[in-house]
Amino acid sequence: MTLESTIICVDNSEFCRNGDFGLNRLISQQDAANLVARTKLKSNPENDVGLLTMSDNYLVTTLTADQQKFQSVMAKVQPEGEVKLSAAVRVAQLSLKHRMHKNHRQRIIVFICSPILEDEKDLIKVAKRLKKEKVNLDIVSFGEDEANQAKLTAFINTLNGKDGSGSHLVRISSGNNLDQALRQSPIIGDDGPVGGAFAMDDAETDPELAMALRISLEEQRARQDTDGGAEQENTNAAAPAENEAMDEDRAMLNAALSMSMSGGAPAAASNDEPNFAAMTEEEQIAYALRMSMSDSAQAEEQATSRAPAESMDT
């Protein structure tokens, strides 16, 4: 079984209020995200998942193996604002970069149901960064799929490269159940049989395709288990060279990490609220991660302090 740390990014923009998927797009995402988290955690007891909301690039919960915790915070997500996909992915990547289990593979799963604001070239730049850092990414596109198709296809193709198969684009058309569609997708299949786009309508109406998919999943899983050890050795051998040749992108991520862990505050307005207009992009990313981690730690501390009191009451 694959050891994996996964950040699930949900689209909680104003477009989530649309009712073309279930009651609305956000509720459909909640069910689907819970399904993905549950599947990841059950596939291996050492796996962990985190949740990031993309309208504010907020890490609602850091990586955890607690399924109930994930479901609890997912239920509290509300629609607001708009999504900037590239920034959300970078925050997710930064969170994965200092995961507790360094031997875990890194994966980001993005739900997108609003128009993508970035240019295709900006997304390709992010995809190249993810590929270099060995981060796989799956995209669940629905709601605004037609408008986003070209950009998302270019993103996944860049990330996978010519021979890659670790990242997937799952397109779900209106009228389909998001939860049920994902059950037959490569995302639920733990890294899937092949990379690229996957049309959910085909699998739902073709039992033979679904069976072939399951068989391919087992074959892919076996290949990954075989290749995993060799890949880890190559990574360790290349580490000194990578440190010497650290590029601008990696330096930026390290700077953001340093800010997020040191507690240094970025530029702020007079009312103690952050002045995002005066912050660089890396400062915004570091601030979002630092605040998310701080809030998660406070919530866990409060839950721990309540536990003895509840025990005494009973």
The 10s digit of each residue's pLDDT in 13-44 is 999 999 999 999 999 999 999 999 999 999 99
**Whole domain around residue 255: which residue ranges?**
248-313
Residues 28 and 166 in one domain: yes
Residues 48 and 118 in one domain: yes
In this predicted structure, what is the pLDDT of residue 165?
80
Residues 16 and 122 in one domain: yes
Six token digits for residue 95: 């969170």
- Structural domain includes residue 241: no
Q: What is the pLDDT of residues 210-242, one digit of tens each?
A: 455 445 545 554 555 565 555 445 544 444 444
Residues 161 and 283 in one domain: no
| Domain's final residue, options 230, 265, 280 | 230
Count of structural domains, the chain: 2
- Structural domain includes residue 240: no
Residues 209 and 263 in one domain: no
- Structural domain includes residue 254: yes
Residues 217 and 266 in one domain: no
| Domain's final residue, options 230, 257, 284 | 230
Residues lower than pLDDT 70 in the chain: 1, 189-314
Residues 94 and 216 in one domain: yes
In this predicted structure, what is the pLDDT of residue 201?
42
Which one-letter amino acid corresponds to residue 102? K
- Structural domain includes residue 242: no
- Terminal C-alpha separation, the chain: 41
